């Protein structure tokens, strides 16, 4: 069985993270309850990283809160801001927590279709007036999981104007900003003029630093929204282990060479898989970001039927696009978290089912 389903990096966590954790885990001052607000050193490192990487200035004391990974943050942001009956616009296709989170908070998730002809951006003007009036949150994610789409135009500026006009809080899931190819550098939503007035960004260390098991992330942006998120968090968990905060700070402060090497590896894997899939007749474009390839299923197949056929007849696991929302129908997602030879073998196995 070859698994191209879940996006869990197969590379080790950078050594600076492991060594810093080892050092600080041995220090008694990290063994007590942490503060939900995070260590000063961690927040300073996040602020420094955002300024160097994105040109975004963050106030460490009021605009930064640690999170136990992006998933926890995204779910809890619904509990912090959604009232019963209010709407959360969820990127479709998108990360499933964009829809499950509002439901758990008593709200209503409404799909925000990402239009292929618009570069997998939503058509903001197509959102019905009745939905806009009830919308409290809007979830966006670029570079995008699962499509691999990136932002290269004024879309974020249009989002800021739309959110301000309709009093909507924008949550940008910035999980893949460091995994980009072909000279593209992903922006932070917060680099957009006025973005900090209308929203928050969730930055995760999971994919960028091969730290999926460490559960390290951060919520940054509008200070009033950050404060509301902190008030919720104080009633849910006791904060991030302080030795982990120091380890996360160390990799954010590093020269980012591990990220550059990781992107080289993923680019080679992307090129390998895209070439193989195009060779066997699947319609695939090489993404400029993320660790996924988004492929159209053959004519006559649905996302589910093709996924089942590939599993049962080729022994390859892929993710049906419909699992990410109604607009994902007609596609499958394949992860790049396997060595080149296994990616080639997966394409070879699938080739017998295409055509």
Q: How do residues 68-126 score in pLDDT, each as one tens digit? A: 999 999 999 999 999 999 999 999 999 999 999 999 999 999 999 999 999 999 999 99
By DSSP bridging, strand 135-140 and strand 319-320 are unpaired
Tell whether the model's pLDDT for residue 133 goes beyond 80. yes
Q: Residue 355 has what pLDDT?
A: 58
Alpha helices in the chain (DSSP H): 15-25, 40-54, 70-81, 97-104, 129-134, 155-166, 195-198, 223-233, 242-253, 257-279, 303-314, 340-351
Q: Residue 283 has what pLDDT?
A: 82
Handedness of CA 82, 86, 88, 92 (dihedral sign): positive
CA 24/CA 204 separation, integer angstroms: 21
CATH topology of domain 15-253: 3.40.640
Tell whether the model's pLDDT for residue 332 goes beyond 70. yes
Closest CA to 206 of 97, 290, 146, 293: 290
The dihedrals phi and psi of 221, each to the nearest 5 degrees, come to 135, -140
The residues spanned by each domain of the chain are 2-11+257-351, 15-253
Q: Residue 6 has what pLDDT?
A: 86
Q: Residue 340 has what pLDDT?
A: 86
CATH of domain 2-11+257-351: 3.90.1150.10
8-state DSSP, 254? S
pTM listed for this prediction: 0.96
């Amino acid at each position: 069985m070859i698994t191209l389903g879940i996006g869990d990096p197969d590379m080790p966590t950078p050594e600076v993270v492991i060594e810093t954790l080892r050092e600080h885990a041995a220090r008694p001052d990290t063994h007590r309850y942490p503060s939900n607000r995070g260590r000063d050193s961690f927040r300073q490192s996040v602020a420094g990283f955002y300024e160097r990487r994105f040109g975004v200035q963050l106030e460490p004391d009021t605009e930064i809160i640690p999170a136990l990974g992006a998933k926890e943050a995204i779910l809890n942001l619904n509990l912090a801001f959604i009232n019963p009956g209010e709407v959360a616009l969820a990127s479709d296709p998108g990360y499933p927590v964009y829809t499950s989170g509002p439901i758990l908070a008593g709200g209503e998730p409404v799909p925000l279709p990402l239009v292929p002809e618009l570069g997998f951006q939503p058509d903001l003007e197509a959102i019905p007036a009745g939905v806009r009036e009830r919308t409290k949150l809007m979830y966006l994610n670029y570079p995008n999981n699962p499509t691999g789409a990136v932002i290269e135009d004024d879309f974020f500026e249009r989002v800021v104007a739309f959110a301000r006009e309709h009093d909507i809080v924008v949550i940008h899931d910035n999980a893949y900003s460091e995994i980009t190819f072909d000279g593209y550098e992903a922006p932070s939503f917060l680099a957009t003029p006025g973005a900090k007035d209308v929203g928050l960004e969730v930055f995760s260390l999971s994919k960028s630093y091969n730290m999926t098991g460490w559960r390290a992330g951060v919520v940054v942006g509008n200070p009033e929204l950050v404060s509301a998120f902190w008030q919720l968090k104080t009633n849910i968990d006791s904060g991030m282990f302080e030795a982990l905060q120091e380890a996360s700070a160390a990799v954010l402060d590093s020269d980012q060479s591990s990220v550059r090497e990781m992107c080289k590896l993923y680019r080679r894997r992307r090129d390998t898989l895209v070439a193989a899939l195009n060779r066997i007749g699947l319609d695939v474009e090489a993404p400029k970001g993320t660790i996924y390839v988004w492929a159209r299923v053959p004519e006559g197949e649905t996302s589910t039927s093709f996924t089942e056929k590939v599993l049962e007849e080729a022994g390859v696991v892929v993710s049906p696009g419909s699992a990410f929302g109604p607009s994902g129908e007609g596609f499958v997602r394949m992860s790049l978290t396997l060595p080149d030879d296994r990616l080639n073998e997966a394409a070879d196995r699938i080739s017998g089912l295409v055509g």
